[in-house]
Amino acid sequence: MISLLNKPWKLLLACLLFAPATTTAGSPVHAAAHDVQQATAGRTKQQIVGQWLQDRPMATGRSYMPSTSIYAEQPKLTAPYDAGKLKPAYIEDGINAANFVRYLAGLPNDLTADWTLEQQQQTAALVNAVNNQLTHYPSKPADMEQAIFELGQAGTSSSNLFKGSPTFYDNVLGYMSDSDPSNIGRVGHRRWILNPAMKKTMFGMVYASGSADYSPPYASMYAFNRDRDNSEFSYDYIAWPSAGYFPEEVFAPADAWSVSLNPSRYDKAKTSSIRVQLTRERDGKSWTLDQADRNANGEFFNVETSGFGVPFAVIFRPDGIGKFGSDDTFRVHISGVYTLGGQEASIDYKTTFFNLLPDPITRYAIQLRKGETLQLGMRTGAQQTGNTFLSGNAGVAAVDSKGNIRAVGKGDTWVSVDEYLGSVSTVNIRVVDADPADRVSKWAVEDYTLAKSNGLISRTYDHSYQKAITRYDFTGLAVQMAETIMDNNLYSDDVAYGKSPFRDVDDWRVTWANRNGIIKGTSPNVFSPYETITREQAATLLMNLYNRLSQLTGQSDGEAAAGGAGKAQLFEDDKRIAPWAKDNVYKAVALSLMDGTGYNQFKPKGVLTYEQTFVLLQKAFEVIGQ
């Protein structure tokens, strides 16, 4: 999966503060009040899936709101100006987005469109689009009617604003991220959307008159609605991400956490002692954050008491949190909080991140031959039915409702699954003619197909099946498998081009594999990239890879306990196995990373082929991926 933080879009905080917007929901509350803590306690993944299926975007991808399709009445960006009118379905898409994130936070998720503000919000977008500037305080275009400008100004001064995001759903998710240096101190967009008193909102969008290549959309979302009576809700705190299960697709590891405290229960004037301890349960790693942590680009902490929705928020972001694991649970402990009665209190809850949607395992482009079929390998998500598979060109590669891909004609295309939330859910595919002279051997077809389905065979290596594999290509495939298992890009500046320890190859994958103890050079500064690999060498390389990935994934201390020559039946050709390789050969066999070649032979000096490598890597993937 990708982070919303990397999107090249701009958002601007609605800075006008209305004192009446303060939300307290203090005692006494109505007996039927919606309680935030009760809403998130015990919520199941499948309940979240059910709500997602009601609220998910109206289409996949990010291009379903082009300027040519979304308007019932087209805007006019020159005098006489006209804000135009959006088709209601697109506004409802934004409402659904806001309701989904409110549901996740445990809030009432019954927002409706305020159609009385339709023209105001559309005009707010118009004024910013005409000026081609994102601001709450726009300048009046010289030839714009005063009444139109004042209506737009009323909208810009009371809204969350966005530039460049192509859909309202993406707008809302961007507002919820709110973690760039200019917004992290307040997370104000987020807090307006999570204002429990909000009951209605409205969206507007107008595309600017840009270049032929890019005309950015300007958007608005009304933020100041507070029509919901305090008797309709109750809360101790409102957390993002919330307590309980939470889909990782809508919260990036670099996003700021926020906890809005009920100001009718907690003293927002007494905040100097507040600190946060965040603990990751899977490894016990802990972060302590307080007022000393003020790096807006890294570890951050702030207590914010301005009137953005709930006017009391503890905001924090740990540094180096890395990628969320499957069902990754974090404990949140906030201390130094005081009740209005002067009693010291604390806030404690757990958040468990999970995959809501499936996503393809494959990270690199794959190659198919005309007529070839392939089941798209996927990491499972909580949503296991009703998934949406699409092909960019069914005349090149078609995909059915189960994710089965069929290569139809030569060319390049892509296949996606549930590409709703900006995650990496697309696989690039090239279809070529079948080559009768270059086919996978029958004995290897099953594992070869599985390996390709699991993203272990990218287009670069999908050839020359019976030929001997080179040290260079074996290393590339091994690193590619490591990235697939870890679901992470392993490239970094530390292994960038120019950092190679070898004089005959400069490739980051070789450098990474060498630094991680997977493969050595044939001499201190020579890698010999085009030399071949024997089976006994492959056993050692596989064990190095197995041990290192076990370390990196936290599965063991990095030393394979199984195997060893004393723990397995000896091969008939045991004496031909080099002493330096013998232990790794038997460990690899014991772990089912390798097999003999038949008749109780190992053939240690046999040269490894491409198809044999694919089979070995698939076996390693199955063992390590468990």
The whole-number pLDDT of residue 96 equals 99
Decide if pLDDT at 68 tops 60. Answer: yes
Say yes or no: 241 and 372 in one domain.
Answer: no
Over range 539-563, report the average pLDDT.
76
Domain check: are 486 and 528 in the same one?
Answer: yes
CB contact at 8 A, 288 and 332: no
Ramachandran region of residue 390, left (φ > 0), alpha (ψ -120 to 50) or beta?
A: beta
List Cβ neighbours of 25 (8 Å cut-off, separation of 6 or more).
33, 196, 230, 233, 234, 235, 262, 264
Q: Does position 1 have pLDDT exceeding 90, yes or no?
A: no
**Predicted local distance difference test score (pLDDT) of residue 271:** 98
Whether the per-residue pLDDT at 210 is higher than 80: the answer is no
Same domain, 384 and 530: no
Closest C-alpha among 448, 444, 271, 289 to residue 374: 448
When pLDDT is averaged across residues 371-400 and rounded to a whole number, the result is 95
Q: pTM, whole model, 2 decimals?
A: 0.88
pLDDT at 14: 44
Looking at the structure, tell me whether residues 268 and 379 fall in a common domain.
no
pLDDT-derived band of residue 28, with 50, 70 and 90 as boundaries? Answer: very low
**Greatest mean pLDDT among 60-69, 235-244, 584-593:** 235-244
CATH number of the domain enclosing 49: 3.40.33.10
pLDDT above 90: residue 529? yes
Whether residue 553 has pLDDT greater than 80: no
Is the pLDDT reported for residue 588 higher than 90?
A: yes
Note whether 350 and 362 are same-domain residues: no
Choose one of 379, 410, 434: the last residue of a domain.
434
Residue 94 within a domain: yes
pLDDT digits (tens, 9 = 90+) for 131-146: 999 999 999 999 999 9
Q: Say if residue 199 is in the same domain as residue 341.
A: yes
Domain with 423, as residue range(s), is 358-434
DSSP at 574: G
Domain boundary among 434, 460, 490: 434
Q: What stretches of 42-98 adopt beta strand conformation (E)?
A: 71-73, 85-86
pLDDT band with cut points at 50, 70 and 90 for residue 212: low
Confidence tier at 401 by pLDDT (50, 70, 90): very high
Q: How confident is the model at residue 487 (pLDDT cuts 50, 70, 90)?
A: confident
Looking at the fold, whether 411 and 481 belong to one and the same domain comes out as no
pLDDT in tens, 7-18: 444 555 444 444
Please indicate, yes or no, whether residues 481 and 591 belong to a single structural domain of this protein: yes
Q: What percent of the chain has pLDDT over 90?
A: 85
Q: How far apart are CA 141 and CA 128, in angstroms?
A: 10
Tell me the C-alpha distance between 525 and 401, whole Å: 51
Q: Is residue 17 part of a domain?
A: yes
Predicted confidence (pLDDT) at residue 469 exceeds the cutoff of 90: yes
In this prediction, residue 25 carries a pLDDT of: 52
Extract the runs of DSSP E, i.e. beta strands, from 325-460: 328-338, 344-354, 359-360, 366-369, 373-375, 378-379, 389-391, 397-399, 404-407, 411-417, 426-432
Classify residue 366: in a domain, yes or no. yes
Print the SS3 string covering 224-262.
Answer: CCCCCCHHHEECCEEEECCCEEEEHHHCCCCCCEEEEEC
Give the C-alpha separation, 590 to 539, whole Å.
11
> At CA 316, angle to CA 314 and CA 317, rounded to 5?
165
Answer yes or no: do 277 and 381 share one domain: no
Asked whether residue 579 is domain-assigned, the answer is yes
User: What confidence tier does 276 reach under pLDDT thresholds 50, 70, 90?
Assistant: very high
Same domain, 122 and 215: yes
**pLDDT for position 322:** 86
Average pLDDT, the chain: 92
Domain membership of residue 167 (yes or no) is yes
Count structural domains, the chain: 3
Q: Minimum mean pLDDT among 287-291, 323-327, 523-527: which range? A: 323-327
> Which of 397, 416, 434 finishes a domain?
434
Q: Is residue 595 part of a domain?
A: yes
- pLDDT of residue 251 exceeding 70: yes
Residue 541 has pLDDT above 70, yes or no: yes
22 falls within a domain = yes
Identify the residue with better confidence: 595 or 213.
595
Distance CA 181, CA 161 (A): 17
> What per-residue confidence (pLDDT) applies to 19?
39
Q: Judge if 507 and 410 occupy the same domain.
A: no
Identify the band that residue 278 occupies on the pLDDT scale cut at 50, 70 and 90.
very high
pLDDT bucket at 424, cuts 50 / 70 / 90? low
Residue 558 has pLDDT above 80, yes or no: no
Considering the domain boundaries, does residue 439 fall inside one?
no
559-571 mean pLDDT = 58
Q: Is the pLDDT of residue 2 over 80?
A: no
The CATH number of whichever domain residue 412 belongs to comes to 2.60.40.1080
- Specify the pLDDT at position 555: 66
| 3: confidence class by pLDDT, cuts 50, 70, 90 | very low
pLDDT band at 488; cut points 50, 70, 90: confident
Residues 309 and 452 in one domain: no
